[in-house]
Amino acid sequence: MKTPPVITARARALSVLARVEATDAFLDLVLDAQLDEAPLADPRDAGLVTELCYGATRRRMLLDAAIERFCDRKLDTIEDKVLAALRLGAYQLYFTRTPRHAAVGETVEALKGLGLQRAAGFVNAILRKLAALESPPLPPPEPRAAHLAVRESHPQELVERWTRQFGPDRAEAMLVGDNVPPGLVLRTNTSKTTREGLLAELRAAGLGAEHTALSPVGIRLSGVGRVEDLLGFEQGLWSVQDEAAQLVGLYAQVPESARVLDVCAAPGGKALHLAETHEQVVASDLHQNKLRKIEAEARRLGLSGRLALHAHDATTPIPSEWGEFHAVMVDAPCSGSGTLRRHPELRYRRQDADVLRLATLQRRILESAQEAVAPGGLLVYAVCSVDFREGPDQVELFLRSHPEWTLEPPVLPPELKLPLWQGALRTLPGPEGMDGFYAARLRKLY
């Protein structure tokens, strides 16, 4: 069998960035596929490839503004791999400790390694000019939105909307937070262990493990490698889940005796969180392949016996044979604007038309889901978005058209402090180090 060619970290990063640019694919999926495709010159370089790809994507608008200063052609006319090399080199110059001569020289060599020797001189000339600048050029401080858009690499329209919705200081903190790489957060599998017990084991193994600030079942880890190699993975002692997503399950306060349905279950975090404390959880999703992944995770966690899985379109009526539910979770498809630090490519792609389309889909799912809730039961609506149109506006519209429903904030134990806003759960990107989530707990009165 022919051995696949060995490739350098920078060449692999160029290939990933070029493919994401050319196909509008998700960065994480392309990165994972290409890291599995061919061996790197040094296996430890997988971390470097990841940093370069995510960093160059997070800072793309700023990098492009710097490149345009010295480029004699429009960036959208430049070949994908050549443009990726320019961005990659500029990112190393301004945001890593790579020596400037190496940032330029090794990026050019990576481009040559991909068979693009003809573009090497063009890339080398621009990167050398960028290397002469101590920092990337920025637009004037005013108007503020235009300055922040380039400085923090977010479309100006998004900067302006967040400023209107959250105020200038919080909006700026959200922009900055989106450019901080997320750390690894675990959710303790409370059906098998306690957070304190898991913390003690992780620390004894030499890992930097700390409590999460708000979730009583969360643990933050630092300095870790492959998730699958971590203590407790094979034993199913924990799941990977951002703290904000953990708070949704805690905010729901679904009684342990309740029979629960999660109608948009993939990737499964919230359904499995419910299954840790509830004997009967039904989880459905449109895509059968995603359900298989949930099933595998349920087996790892030892929760298969509590979880029933069904392929189902959440915009259509819930099959009556599934029975009656005391609580329904709707973790609706959304724009993902609360997860831009994890999926930085989304900030450049999402358009108003996408949000409006998704809001229509969310309304259809809500209409279907509310029919499945028994009188007196709960409906928990959640989105990993900070856009009002997908969160509070969506819930307000639902309540206006359904007088039999009301917003009912949970009665929380004294030790559980959740970031509530107008009775709903709301987390925002920023210095707290969490994703942005909105969740509303609704009660069916009759």
pLDDT in tens, 55-64: 999 999 999 9
- Residue 3: pLDDT over 60: no
Angle at 245 between CA 312 and CA 396, to 5 degrees: 70
Query: Is the preceding omega at residue 137 within 30 degrees of 0, hence cis?
Result: no
Query: Read out DSSP for 192-231?
Result: T--HHHHHHHHHHTT-EEEE-SS-TTEEEEES---GGGST
The residue type at 386: V
Residues of the chain with CATH 3.40.50.150: 250-444
Under 8 Å between Cβ of 392 and 136: no
Please state, rounded to an integer, the average pLDDT across all residues of the chain.
Answer: 96
pLDDT tens sequence across 176-193: 999 999 999 999 999 999
Q: Is 53 a known active-site residue?
A: no
Token duo for residue 129? 């000019």
Dist CA 27 CA 34 (whole Å): 11
Q: Tell me whether strands 405-407 and 373-383 are parallel, antiparallel or unpaired.
A: unpaired
Query: Read out DSSP for 25-45?
Result: --HHHHHHHHHHHS-BSSGGG
CATH code linked to domain 184-240: 3.30.70.1170
Q: Using alpha carbons, list the distances in angstroms from residue 234 to 96, 228, 444.
A: 35, 8, 40
pLDDT of residue 2: 53
pLDDT of residue 266: 96
CATH topology classification for 9-131: N-utilizing Substance Protein B Homolog; Chain A (1.10.940)
Under 8 Å between Cβ of 73 and 126: no
Residues of the chain with CATH 3.30.70.1170: 184-240
* Beta-bridge partner residues of 307: 281
pLDDT of residue 6: 67
CATH code linked to domain 250-444: 3.40.50.150
> Phi, psi (5° rounding) for residue 29?
-70, -45
Average pLDDT over residues 10-37: 94
Dist CA 431 CA 434 (whole Å): 8
pLDDT tens sequence across 242-276: 999 999 999 999 999 999 999 999 999 999 999 99
Dist CA 187 CA 422 (whole Å): 27
Any idea of the CA torsion for 60, 17, 230, 301, to the nearest 10 degrees? 100
pLDDT of residue 38: 76
Express as a percent the part of the chain with pLDDT over 90: 94
Token duo for residue 355? 């949000």
pLDDT of residue 224: 84
Under 8 Å between Cβ of 201 and 180: no
- Residue 5: pLDDT over 70: no
> Phi, psi (5° rounding) for residue 373?
-90, 130
Q: Using alpha carbons, list the distances in angstroms from residue 1 to 4, 41, 179.
A: 9, 19, 42
Under 8 Å between Cβ of 8 and 110: yes
Average pLDDT over residues 372-391: 97
Under 8 Å between Cβ of 219 and 211: yes
* Given the residues 53, 264, 334, 384, the one annotated as active site: 384
Average pLDDT over residues 387-411: 98
Q: Which of 353, 358, 375 minimizes the C-alpha distance to 443?
A: 375
pLDDT of residue 392: 98
Q: Tell me whether strands 281-285 and 307-311 are parallel, antiparallel or unpaired.
A: parallel
pLDDT of residue 204: 96
Under 8 Å between Cβ of 19 and 34: yes
Residues of the chain with CATH 1.10.940.10: 9-131
Dist CA 391 CA 393 (whole Å): 6
Angle at 248 between CA 244 and CA 253, to 5 degrees: 145
Q: Which of 276, 274, 263, 236 minimizes the C-alpha distance to 365?
A: 263
- Residue 4: pLDDT over 60: no
